[in-house]
């Protein structure tokens, strides 16, 4: 078990479960791989499926480390949309250079998002920076 991360994805909150959504990349501007783990049902009440979350664990010279880990959800500052049970934030993940910079960015799929259309889906982009992911583009 990894200790000290925002939330252990194997023991996540009610309704949360790993479904194989993983992405790796240099999100923090260091030469180490960082790992994003999708937990699409996290945060549910009374055993039901919640809106979902993504846990990001940052790399170091010694490997992945709990120090500075982040837990992202639609409740996180700057993330678009509002958390709705069953929308599956974190159901798919992709690392890429969407802002055209050296640090990797993270695309977070929300499989059943209902903002524009019922169950139409959505994608949120979290941007890499010198220190960690951010919901807004920052200079790097």
pLDDT band at 20 (very low <50, low <70, confident <90, very high): low
* Predicted model pTM: 0.81
Burial 118-130 (b: 16+ CB within 10 A, else e): eeebbebbbbbbe
Residue 136 CA: distances (Å) to CA of 32, 63, 65, 79, 109: 22, 27, 24, 9, 17
100 token code pair = 């055209």
pLDDT band at 1 (very low <50, low <70, confident <90, very high): very low
Q: Where are the domains of the chain?
A: 9-126
Q: 9: closest CA among 67, 52, 62, 61?
A: 52
Give residue-wise pLDDT tens across range 50-78: 889 999 999 999 999 988 999 999 999 99
Give residue-wise pLDDT tens across range 28-45: 988 899 999 999 888 877
């Amino acid at each position: 078990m990894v200790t000290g991360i925002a939330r252990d994805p194997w023991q996540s909150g009610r309704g949360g479960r790993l479904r194989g959504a993983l992405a790796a990349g240099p999100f923090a501007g260091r030469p180490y791989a960082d790992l994003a783990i999708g937990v699409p049902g996290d945060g549910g009440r009374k055993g039901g499926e919640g809106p979902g979350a993504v846990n990001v664990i940052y790399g170091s010279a010694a490997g992945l480390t709990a120090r500075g880990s982040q837990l992202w959800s639609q409740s996180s500052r700057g993330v678009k949309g509002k958390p709705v049970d069953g929308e599956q934030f974190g159901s798919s993940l992709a690392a890429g250079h969407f802002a055209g910079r050296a640090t990797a960015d993270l695309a977070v799929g929300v499989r059943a998002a209902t903002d524009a259309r019922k169950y139409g889906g959505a994608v949120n982009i979290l941007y890499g920076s010198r220190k960690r992911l951010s919901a807004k583009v920052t200079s790097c």
